[in-house]
A and B are shown apart, each in its own frame.
Chain A
């Protein structure tokens, strides 16, 4: 009952955040001046660099099976607390951005018939480079001014480094010490941002991910060449700047994963699918350099939207950003 109460509380907080974002305001605002939309290691467009720290909490409420059916967790408790440090710098007239993140994770797992365990360790680090292909207009779309219709277009390339403990190297009975995927992942994507008005930004992002193959071993000693399936993620967001200090937004994310391969054979039924939605609220408490962002997102907990997801549930995070 406790975990359902926590979920309900998270939903109510999301609703409250949405209400804050939608509240009209007479104050003037500049959407161009808001930060990275709550994203780790992303530098605001008008800033030279940023350091970020994000504290996140996720509680698993259920899972999606291969057939897309949702199942609540039974006799199990799964909690993840993550502290991620990130940074980024813009170079060459702000067109090139270099960024990186390093997560530290505290994970708790408790299953039926076993004692619960908690482990601390590094997660998978990320390195990225972004290139502004098109510098758009920040004036907001005006019908008779075609120049204001030009969106920002960014190219992002990155790599996930397996700095976290891989599943096959776990020594914990419950797998609480599994902090990473165990393989390098190459990433490439595009981000399209349109300043709809001085206060509002619509953003559409697409990200392609390809995990590299590695050898994995079972307890009995069997060895397999495993390659995770490629995946495409889509994220759409709307950001509203109420004034120079407050901004908020809504976002939806979906991820479609192709089947994995084992010993060069496609693993039947291993394709995955996820969908989540959420809201964020940002507050620049020292203009223009210090910013805090509260973000909440959830996966639906009914059959259909997800597939092959071992743990889904609400996520809550607080990000602190120092811009330069």
Chain B
């Protein structure tokens, strides 16, 4: 009987540990392109399954904000060989800030590509994201 009680308590402890994995928003990721363009990628909350919002702040090498862009956003999961189910939506907030709404349907490592305009020649960022 004592052994059964210990076993049940151990299970409860394990369940409790499983419940305590919530976390806040991750640290913003700062990346630079060869021409000095800087992008700061800041999720609004911890990235998880479903809808997520990521604020992108873009500045030139001289620190002036980049405005009026039509950002092309996509994401791919290289470890599993697939992309998103829904195209992300990017909108401009002003002063070089943009908001991206993106739906993830699987946990794990995603590579988000952010092209600063349309066309294959548009400069782009590749942002590693961990969805949990």
A residues within 8 A CB of B74? 218-220, 222
A310 touching B78, Cβ below 8 Å: no
A83 to B125, CA, bound (A): 44
The reply to whether the CB of A121 lies closer than 8 angstroms to some CB of chain B is: no
CA A177 to CA B76, docked complex, whole Å: 18
Task: Let me know if A66 and B108 touch, CB within 8 A.
Answer: yes
Number of A-B contacts (CB under 8 A): 149
Interface size of A as a range: 35 or more
Asked if A269 is an interface residue, CB under 8 A from chain B, the answer is yes
Interface residues on chain B, size class: 35 or more
Q: Given A15-B7, A267-B78, A308-B79, does the pair A220, B18 have CB atoms closer than 8 Å?
A: no
Q: Do residues A219 and B87 form an inter-chain contact, with CB atoms below 8 A?
A: yes
Of A75, A76, A173, A270, which is within 8 A of B85 by CB?
A173
Please tell me which stretch of B26-34, B35-43, B62-70, B99-107 contacts chain A, meaning at least 4 of its Cβ atoms lie within 8 angstroms of it.
Answer: B99-107
Q: Once bound together, how far apart are the Cα atoms of A70 and B79, in whole Å?
A: 18
Q: Which residues of B contact A152 (CB under 8 A)?
A: none
CB of B5 within 8 A of chain A? no
Given contacts A8-B11, A113-B50, contact A63 B108 (CB under 8 A): yes
Q: Tell me which residues across on chain B come within 8 A of A76, comparing CB atoms.
A: 48-50
Closest 9 CB pairs of A and B: A113-B51, A111-B50, A226-B81, A270-B79, A167-B82, A218-B83, A112-B50, A175-B105, A220-B74
Known: A76-B49, A272-B79. 20 other contacts (CB 8 A): A15-B4, A62-B18, A62-B21, A65-B109, A65-B132, A66-B79, A75-B49, A111-B103, A114-B50, A167-B81, A168-B83, A170-B85, A172-B85, A173-B105, A182-B81, A218-B74, A226-B81, A260-B79, A269-B79, A270-B109
| Chain B residues engaging chain A, CB cutoff 8 angstroms | 4, 7-8, 11-12, 14-15, 17-22, 46, 48-51, 72, 74-76, 78-87, 103-109, 113, 130, 132
